[in-house]
Amino acid sequence: MMCPSHLVSGAVEDTRVREATSRTVYIHDVLYVSLRAGPSTQHPMLRHRLKSGMKLQQFEKNIETGYSLVRTEDGREGWIQTQYLGSEPIAAEQLRQLKAEFNALQTQHQAALRRLAEPKPAATVINKPTGTKQESAGRLEKWYRLLANNLTPGGWLLISVLVILTSTLFGFWLGRRIYKSYDDGWV
């Protein structure tokens, strides 16, 4: 004869096995579904009017009867018609989750825009110690983007004129040095 402790441990072990093989399912469609004591309409209702979108744990699926053994979030177990179950939450719940995610991302975006809009002294940004070549290249690229986004067309014109003037002066100086070296050689 089996001891009651063996029965309890067997039931606990059976529950653990069922938990490990179960999957989360949701009631889909806009309707209310009944939770029954067995896999048919002949069995009494344990709970009626389970609302669509309710999260359930599915333990067993009986293909012959078209019912699945499930557990509600409050711990009640029973059978429900498999045709009313889906592996994803209903569209209304998915939309609610996406809206919440969108609002969180929008808040992060606004905070990032505020941080970017804050003026930073150029000396503190420029005088930071340099790291690897990749970090330096990344910082130069950031400065380029900052200049490209903040300079007006007049500012670019001024920079272009300065580059051309500097290049011209350098060209004259270099030409003069070369001419002097040839001049010294011929005399």
Q: What is the pLDDT along the chain (187 residues), one digit of tens a residue?
A: 455 555 445 555 666 677 777 888 876 665 678 888 888 888 888 887 888 888 899 999 999 999 999 998 888 899 998 888 888 887 888 888 889 999 999 999 898 888 888 877 655 555 555 567 777 777 778 777 776 666 666 776 777 888 898 989 888 888 777 766 555 555 4
The residue among 46, 40, 101 whose CA lies nearest residue 72 is 46
- For residues 36 and 58, membership in a common domain is answered with yes
User: Rounded distance, CA 87 to CA 96, Å?
Assistant: 17
- For residues 146 and 113, membership in a common domain is answered with no
Structural domain contains residue 7: no
Structural domain contains residue 184: no
Structural domain contains residue 8: no
Structural domain contains residue 80: yes
- For residues 99 and 42, membership in a common domain is answered with no
Domains: count for the chain: 3
- For residues 27 and 76, membership in a common domain is answered with yes
- For residues 17 and 74, membership in a common domain is answered with yes
Structural domain contains residue 1: no
State in Å, rounded, how far the first CA of the chain is from the last one.
127
- For residues 23 and 63, membership in a common domain is answered with yes
Q: For the whole model, what pTM was predicted?
A: 0.43
> What residue numbers bound the domain in which 32 lies?
13-87
- For residues 101 and 81, membership in a common domain is answered with no
Structural domain contains residue 169: yes
User: Rounded distance, CA 106 to CA 112, Å?
Assistant: 10
Tell me the H-state helices in 2-71: 4-21
Q: How many helices (H) and strands (E) does the chain have?
A: 5, 7
- For residues 143 and 101, membership in a common domain is answered with no
Strand positions, DSSP E, 109-167: none
- 147 sits in which H/E element: helix 133-150
- For residues 67 and 82, membership in a common domain is answered with yes
Structural domain contains residue 2: no
Structural domain contains residue 65: yes
User: Rounded distance, CA 79 to CA 60, Å?
Assistant: 9
